[in-house]
Amino acid sequence: MKNFIFVSPNFPDSYRYFCKELKKDGFNVLGIGDCPYDELNFELKECLTEYYKVSDLENYDEVYRAVAFFIHKYGRIDFLESNNEYWLERDAALRTAFNITSGYGLSRVKAVKYKSKMKKYYEKAGIKAARHYLVKSLAGCKKFIEKVDYPVIVKPDNGVGANATYKIKNENELVDFMSGKPQGYIMEEYIDGIVNSYDAIVDGSGNPVFETGLCETASIMDIVNNGENSLYYYLPEIPDDIRAAGRAVLKAFGVKNRFVHFEFFRLTRDQYIGKKGEVVALEVNMRPAGSPSTDMMDYANSTDVYKIWADTLAYGSTSVGCGRKYFCGFVSRRDGKTFAHTEEEIKAKYALNLKSAERVPKVLSAAMADFSFIANFDTKKEMQEFFNYVTE
């Protein structure tokens, strides 16, 4: 029997479905987390062969001892994953320490975590990426901006989502930003574009066994910094150029046995980096798109990505296919804003389309607002009318 260590299997809540499908495929599913066992979802408990509670997942020594305990009790570990951006480096450190070779070790993880280090892989894939400068001094920033002009984007070189990401539009804002003595930041030329993603489950030979993609209607940076409502959607069919770009990046990074979420810009005007409509690189994420995107992939494709992923790790392939395709839209409203339509009115009007209507977990609300609706539609026009109605 194969052994799978799942780090933090309780967050987000939907990750219990990964564990459920792993168990169905014959894995010992061994959980490590800081949530008390009694507080775990009942369905998750049913999936876990054993759960090791640590006082703090940030404490490497505790998590290390948990892995050592599982190895002593169950033998060799075949996979160790969290499927969570925040823990990717921790996962890699543990794989290196215990010679678990099914995923990235410490020697390779920086290439997929540091935005500056991703650039050479985009070049290898033949995809353009924004010019950049690793922030060291005000003079260095000014010299870079002389080349690319304002505005510029600054963000942590090793960061998650749009946290601590800012648009700098003039020298006063630059001086103000640098006065905080920022550490570990990358500065990039500003790109006018709409974010499109390539989401895929990849087998042990580097071949995608499932592909889909989303489109964002607004910048996550603006949603976070301006407290805006959140809207995005999964497409019924992934555009050919996004598919080609995604596959090229898979090959450049040598991705195997992973669920990935690659982000690209589709340019909305001609600019230095390319022509309107062209696809250019944004960043790679060697894990699934954040919750609730995995559920939306299922809704948009009438499938089960949790089973596809587990089957791929267990058998190298899957018999799960896709059914009817939809536009699957996510829209979430900010608390404190006044809206024309109540939650009850939305649920009544879109009863046949809604897949969920619920509060966003607090830890995700900065980027995803506070109360969300997810719904399926046959056409983009119908979906846009839904977005307009909810946010009116």
162 has pLDDT over 70: no
Counting beta carbons within 10 angstroms of the beta carbon of residue 65, is it exposed (0 to 12), middle (13 to 18) or buried (19 or more)? middle
Which tokens go with 96?
A: 């290196």
* pLDDT tens per residue across span 15-65: 999 999 999 999 999 999 999 999 999 999 999 999 999 999 999 999 999
Average pLDDT in the chain: 95
387 has pLDDT over 70: yes
Which tokens go with 43?
A: 């369905």
Amino acid at 287: R
Across the range 83-89, mean pLDDT stands at 93
Q: Give the DSSP letter of residue 271.
A: B
pTM of the full predicted structure? 0.94
CA dist list (Å): 365 to 8, 132, 223, 265, 324: 20, 29, 10, 24, 31
Q: Give the DSSP letter of residue 103.
A: S
Phi, psi of 322 (to 5 degrees): -115, 150
Q: Looking at residue 164, what is its pLDDT?
A: 83
Task: Identify whether the C-beta of residue 50 lies closer than 8 Å to the C-beta of residue 338.
Answer: no
Counting beta carbons within 10 angstroms of the beta carbon of residue 128, is it exposed (0 to 12), middle (13 to 18) or buried (19 or more)? middle
